[in-house]
Structure 1
Amino acid sequence: MALPSFFVTAGRRWLKLALALGGAAIAQTIPAHAAQPAAPATIRLDYLHTGNATVEQYAVERVVIEPLPWPGNMARTVDDTDRGVNLVEVVDKASGKLLYSRGFSTVFNEWRTTPEAEKTNRGFEESVRFPKPEHAVTVRILKRDENNAFTLAWSTELDPDAPDVLRKQEPSALRPIPIRVSGPSPDKVDLLILGDGYTAGEMKKFEATARRMADQLFAVSPFRERAKDFNVWALAAPTPASGVSRPSTGVHHASRLGTRYDIFGSERYVLATDNRALRELAQNAPYEFIEILVNNDTYGGGGIFGQFSTAAANSDWAKYLFIHEFGHHFAGLADEYYTSPAVYQPSGTRIEPWEPNATALRDPANLKWKKFVAPGTALPTAWPKAEFEAYSRDIQQQRVALRKQQRPESEMSALFKRELAHEEELFSRAPERRTVGAFEGANYEAKGYYRPQMQCLMFDRSEQFCTVCQDAISTIIDLYSRPAQR
């Protein structure tokens, strides 16, 4: 497909970039005679998102031309996957033509469902990135209404040639490490693994961990089968001390990205809190998705669709945390568990979730994943729910006690291993263990929401995604890579 003329601004910069960043590793993947398409610049709109549980406002902070060309697939600039709480649209101001769109979610959207949001206002830094247009555009942020339809929340006009657009920045001494390079960025999904809480003397440790996590991601379907559709880069800025902050235990460390535990009062929830620092570090590498490894052994992580995900890199459960949280960030997968305490207040209504792996099952005949359901499957689908919940309640009580007493992390890890072993034994006796159906208990709720299969990486600490989650992940891979290159 030929590129739209309004996006063609930078010649063959992607090839020079790939050779500079990936060296021989990527040079070997590109035929010498290959004619490569032009790559536009990358433009980033940084804005403030403020409000409370019932009110929200937006305000432009700045517009930045990032140092590297747009890494994305210019044949798929419009998002048709219907994922995310929000949707960004970039519209040509003169013609009204939709140039670019992507679904995403935000930390603000999560915070506004917490008790704090009912009592106070807060502001969050956010960003949207898109290929630099040739002319003035309108950037629109849409959000879902009570019927899950996207409606306009905010819009702003943006002239890419305006004098206040930031075009030059201080050169960075940091260079991304090529972990897995399969080809030119426009043809591939670019995953950037960032490190936080690693000192200058721990950079080799970070690189080794990033390589191990990437290998583990691509050992799980459907990433295993689609590994050649990905490039993976790694990048970390050294910190003065090892690890990131855990305020609930009195541990506070300086962090380049503001990454910390105890987000929204949850001891295991880890997010980066400095969006500008995150974007200024990430812009030194080609990326569409970001996973942040924190140099801690305490179980924890987090994931925001279209923003980033985090994982405790030294935990015994690092592989699970990395892949589970990446499922949120990459594909907008819902949490399917419901017995662990959540930071969100339950809704009084059960609307159909936008996430592809959870349903309110209001219309069983038109179940969103019905193409995977065998004829005659009961909906809802039976599973040993009562026995699972009784054991899980006991596990959660033990978990709270271990954290309250600040017991060694090895004891928490042993508890999780016992829990998983019990689940494996329990589910092995269930007739519908491999069935795709509608199993009640998902989306942090014991009743009213349903998941596709009994077990999945989004439900427990097992090692595989269910059939529906695999399909949802593949859809996003298709959006960002070029099928003709496979």
Structure 2
Amino acid sequence: MPVPSFRPSHSLRRLAGALALSASLAPALAAAAQPATVRLDYLHSGNAKSEQYAVDRVVIEPLPWPGDMARTVDQSNRGMNLVEVTDAASGKLLYSRGFSTIFGEWSSTDEAQRGNRGFQESVRFPKPERPVKVRILKRDAQNAFVEAWSTLVDTDALDVVRKQGPAPAKPIPIRVSGASPDKVDLLIVGDGYTKAEMAKFEASARRLAEHLFKVSPFRERARDFNVWALALPTQESGVSRPSTGVHHASPLGTRYDIFGSERYVLTTDNRALRELAQYAPYEFIEILVNNDTYGGGGIFGQFSTAAANNDWANYLFVHEFGHHFAGLADEYYTSPVAYQTGGARIEPWEPNATALQDPAHLKWSKFVKAGTALPTAWPKAEYETHSREYQKQRAALRAANRPEAEMNALFRKDLAYTEQLFSTAPERRKVGAFEGANYEATGYYRPAMQCLMFDRSDAFCPVCQDGIGTIIDLYAGPAK
């Protein structure tokens, strides 16, 4: 039997002309014999105790596969889920990627205990030559991947969507370092920008991308990235913030108050997002919302969001991208979240959080200097005393719908307190196991006293940097 393979596409010149893409896009599409890009759209529904899947449609996207065909298998062990594409006849693994879902987060909320809900989801993979089995795996109670659903996909079937309309907007090249298969392709998408604000969107995308590449390890690996920007204009400026009575129609439906958390910003309109994003080379997406109010979100392997006009936009952009790009866990634990916490402390799959069940085999032990105590001491009691008062002030400002400038001032004051408190701590610069992470005050530990995933400071700890580097390597190859 012939070895299963992916089918190359030889129509890049015709494709580029049909899409009327800028000359700057051509180098990213120049890799020879790239397969087409397949997108499987499916429906994911259920509740806290059960879930179901159903095929929506199979789409051949307008652009060739942006990834390196030599790196189609993901061995990073990231994500709550894993997609595997195997040859239907031989079972040969052709493609895999870890990811997480909005459904997965929603299923841990109170609402999921009371009823069912459905979400749109997608997985993308290079077009194969023959029918394939697509498997969605999910972690079990022991954190092992087990099959949650599978379906056969024939990308040459009659019902596959092959024809796309013209690009509704032209991708803006922000940074083009080389051909897409050799690079990580990041697409910055705008939502809530009017036609008159398109220049504002582009300026924000350029500014925030520039900041991302000032933060290690993105700074050192900047040449491994291409960055694009794309937005559709809306009639009203800004996106919805239902808790304050603000409801705006926007192309992607991005909004605040996801799962009842006032600062959580996502879109649940996956189809709208994918149908726009497909007109630019991408592997990762960050959505900029045209709002001043602090907020953002990030789902590993799906997308991240950030309020582009907030004083803390630089931090939001990088922090939320850390979730989406590398699957980094939140290391803070005093802010309210929409998910149910508590219960057994199993070892997290995220690279920067641990239940410390076996200190002798700590997963980031290569960064721990000999003699460092595990757990590692830090001024936890003082921090928590301050944080309780800070959270009261924060809630009061939001309840009174005070100007955003007052919230920004509170954030600056909080960060200044933390910096001062930690400045004299003996373990300040060490990597260890500091209790308090993953939304829990006890039972989970973070690698460093302070990190961009813990508070609004400006640097990733060594463990987070290493976790980010692993994903860059997966898409662009090891640092040269």
The reply to whether TM is greater than 0.5 is: yes
Superposition map of 1:247-266 within 5 A: 247-266=242-261
CA contact (8 A) 1:26 1:181 kept: no
Secondary structure, aligned partner of 1:64 = strand
Distance change >3 Å, CA 296–CA 449, structure 1 → 2: same
- Out of 119, 122, 125, the position equivalent to 1:127 is 122
Counterparts of 1:143 and 1:175, CA distance in 2: 37
Q: Of residues 441, 444, 447 in structure 2, which corresponds to 1:446?
A: 441
- 1:11: which partner in 2? 10
Aligned to 2:71: 76
| Alpha-carbon offset, residue 9 of structure 1 | 1.8
Are 2:354 and 2:446, in contact at CA under 8 Å, matched by a contact in 1? yes
Task: Tell which deviates more after alignment, 4-13 or 237-246.
Answer: 4-13
Per the alignment, in what secondary structure is the counterpart of residue 452 of structure 1?
strand
CA offset at residue 82 of structure 1? 0.1
Shift of 1:25: 8.0
In the alignment, the residues of structure 1 paired with residue 102 and residue 260 of structure 2 have an alpha-carbon distance, to the nearest angstrom, of 14
SS in 2 for 1:128: strand
* Residue 51 of structure 2: aligned partner: 56
> Which letter maps to 2:463?
V
CA contact (8 A) 2:390 2:414 kept: yes
Following the alignment from structure 1 to structure 2, what is the Cα–Cα distance between the partners of residues 14 and 294? 34
Deviations 1:104-161 (A, max 9, x none): 0000000000000000100000000000001000000000000000000000000010
Displacement of 1:483: 4.0
1:216 aligned residue (200, 203, 211): 211
CA contact (8 A) 2:168 2:232 kept: no
The answer to whether residue 299 in structure 2 is matched with residue 304 in structure 1 is yes
CA–CA distance in structure 2, aligned partners of residues 96 and 109 of structure 1: 28
C-alpha contact 1:328 1:334 (8 A) present in aligned 2:
yes
Asked if 2 retains the 8 angstrom alpha-carbon contact of 1:337 and 1:444, the reply is: yes
Do the aligned residues in 2 keep the contact of 1:21 with 1:177 (CA within 8 Å)?
no
Q: Is the Cα contact below 8 Å between 1:73 and 1:481 reproduced in 2?
A: yes
> How big is the shift at 1:6?
1.8
- The whole-number CA distance in structure 2 between the counterparts of 1:148 and 1:377 is 28
Q: Residue 482 and residue 16 in structure 1: after superposition, are their counterparts in 2 closer, same or farther (change >3 A)?
A: farther
Q: CA RMSD in A?
A: 1.8
Structure 2 counterpart of 1:23: 23
TM-score by length of structure 2 reads: 0.97
Aligned-partner Cα distance in 2 for 1:196–1:104:
23
Q: Secondary structure at the match of 1:219?
A: coil
Counterpart in the other structure of 1:228 = 223
Q: Contact between 2:4 and 2:130, CA under 8 Å: does it hold in 1?
A: no
Count residues with an aligned counterpart: 477
Distance 2:458 2:156 in 1: 49
Aligned to 1:418: 413
The Cα of 1:347 is off from its aligned counterpart by: 3.3
Aligned twin of 1:395? 390
Structure 1 match to 2:317: 322
Q: 2:362 aligns with which of 351, 364, 367?
A: 367
Contact 1:197 1:239 in 2 (8 A): yes
Secondary structure of 1:202's match? Answer: helix
Identity, in percent, stands at: 74
| Equivalent position to 2:154, from 156, 159, 168 | 159
1:93-242 equivalences in 2 (<5 Å): 93-242=88-237
CA contact (8 A) 2:288 2:305 kept: yes
Q: Does 1:345 align with 2:340?
A: yes
CA contact (8 A) 2:181 2:476 kept: yes
Tell whether the 8 Å contact from 2:87 to 2:131 is kept in structure 1 after alignment: yes
**1:65-90 Cα deviation digits (max 9, x unpaired):** 00000001111100000000000000
More divergent stretch after superposition (15-24 vs 92-101): 15-24
User: 2:432 is paired with a residue of what secondary structure?
Assistant: coil
